[in-house]
Structure 1
Amino acid sequence: MITGDQLQLRVAAIRDISPTLRLVRFENAGDGPLPPSATGAHLQVVLQGAQKEIRNAYSLISKPGSRDAYEIIVRRVPESRGGSAYIHEQLKTGDLLTTSWPGNLFAPQRSARKHIMVAGGIGITPFLSYVADFAGKGIDYELHLCCREEEKDSFAPWLPEPDKVFVHWDADGHRLDIPALLLRQPANSHLYVCGPDFLTNDVLEAAETGGWPDNHVHCERFGNALSGGEAFRAVLQRSGKEIEVGEHESLLEAIEREGVEVPCLCRGGACGVCLTSVLDGEPEHRDHYLGKAERAGGKHIMPCVSRAKSGLLVLDL
């Protein structure tokens, strides 16, 4: 069912593809085809937890343009803030969920001579739609997956051109040499990385050292930005509310818990949609949107991921 800016989807199938990886397939809960999704798109899924509503964004792995169903793969993580645990422990076939329309903040650059993708573990998911799009079109690309050795074959069913896929893990002879990879690429290649911070930072640093133009390097992050931190208070000046932000919830979740709406899209600090003015206090920036000067100025915050260095933030909300 399609209503305004939301979709009502039914869980059509659930399948475990490894002990920690679960595939979920969604279909329209009503009649008619789903909105088309572009390469690199994601879906924001609303999950009703026991204590709070959880909103997580997941990359769509289904073939771009498909309108019969959407598919995602979710890793079960021990430090889950709710979404991963819910999907692995509570979600079942036939459940109805509210989601956003497909959004896209990580589309491939069509003018690239070659596409170099580096994925860390579950960070491969946006690239599964890339390779589904590229397959059979003569597009030059390489996909490098850094993962646990026991998971090296988990994503094989979604890789239509295995000769363009290279898998690396933490063992002699199998580690990815990032500088060497970047050095051998032709001019006008574009580089994409998605994964945990340590891998993303290594790739970005190697690209900078290697002289790659900034507009040829693209990243999508996850992980530490959402790991919680010290509790703090936030005053929403226009709403007249003072709220407590717990150690294991984001500022955005605490604001939403009080019934105050904040525009948001990615919930990962990348899109800039939830940009909020800070009237007092010192933010702890964890986003990937604000520049160095904007962070230093301390006048804005991305509440989906960022927190407070001071014990109190006053926001223009």
Structure 2
Amino acid sequence: IRKQVRKNIKSNKLIQILEFPVLFLGAKPSNTPAFYNFMNYADFGLGTWHPIGGMYKVVEGMVALAESLGVEFRTNANVEKIITDATNKVSGLVVNGEQIDADLVLSGADYHHTETLLNENVRQYSENYWSKKTFAPSSLLFYVAFDKKLTNVCHHTLFFDSDFDVHAKDIYDTPRWPDNPLFYASFPSMTDDSFAPEDCEAATFLIPLAPGLEDTEELRELYFKKIIIRLEKLTNQDVQKNIIFKKSFCVNDFVEQYNSYKGNAYGLANTLFQTAFLRPKIKSNKVANLYFTGQLTVPGPGVPPALISGKIASDLITKNQ
């Protein structure tokens, strides 16, 4: 990507904008196939779309469709074990201590975590395999409410007032908390009135980080101060005294809530040797009726690829059953 972008673009600011999405793919621009420039085309050519009411409205729409087709959902249900029989086929699950029979299992959970629910002899990938893989970043997120409207920002705002290459190095080469991170800010209430009361603003701030970093409340607070001071300086406004709500989400939360390997937020990196058929398989080669979907398998991380993954898995299940 770096070679292709710099061949055609001379403006340093434009170069930074076109290379920034690569941070979430799991490698530096110099190590990411130019094919992934399609992300920039999707952003700038096709546009960024916002579902009124937020991304969860998409989830609610999918649930409503599924329920109309007879699907039953069980929420707050922790899968503790995948049971296989003597022929290495899934026969059931242990969910919240209760055994449930199953004809097949399609897991959209973290791939590594799903395999830990199996007996070791039917796992496809060892701990050594996962430890050698290159993962996309984790993130430090802040969900913030302001009791006034903000100025000099857009719904989607990227802050490039620090060195891109230094931050990328802190994620991929020598994993550490960055001194002066780039960050992304979203102000959805500028587009969608349902996100905040009148004359108020809702915001999400995101700092990409290396997975597996130490995560403490003190570090989170330190980095919130870093970015909010820079926001005030760059947009020429005071906002700290107008914060009426703040919640953070980081490495520990990705592990606790999603069983995410090392707390990654975006799955496996899209490096050349972790692309397409070189990614973990959708169908288990050791358990006949076990399938996988989501960001750690084909085609890769991100909402559209994860949805495509589900389509591929469903077609494969239909073909095999």
TM-score bin (small chain):
under 0.3
Tell me the TM-score normalized by structure 1. 0.24
Which structure is higher in strand share? 1
TM-score computed with the length of structure 2 as normaliser: 0.24
